[in-house]
Amino acid sequence: MIVINCAMMQDKFTEAIQASSLDLKFIKKEGMQLCFETSGDEKSVAAAAKAYLKSCPDFKALYYQVNVK
């Protein structure tokens, strides 16, 4: 499971990840955590998701973490 910790703009994070070409499916929201499922290698998909989010201008000024749980 891949978890994105973010306090703000959680809906936009979810929309951006699902609109990307990454193999991530939204599972649930637990407080500040957005949980996603993937069928690929979790570490490489998490790294790709973080790189994708860093490339988006909407998320450059926000603090967030992308972790494998």
Count Cα atoms within 13 angstroms, Cβ side, for 52.
20
Q: Residue 30 has what pLDDT?
A: 95
**Among the listed residues 68, 62, 67, the one whose alpha carbon sits nearest the alpha carbon of residue 12:** 62
Q: 5 falls in which pLDDT band (50, 70, 90)?
A: very high
Q: What is the pTM assigned to this prediction?
A: 0.88
CATH 1.10.3470 for domain 2-68: no
Q: 35 falls in which pLDDT band (50, 70, 90)?
A: very high
How high does pLDDT run on average in the chain? Answer: 94
Q: Residue 40 has what pLDDT?
A: 87
Query: 36 is written with which tokens?
Result: 């996603």
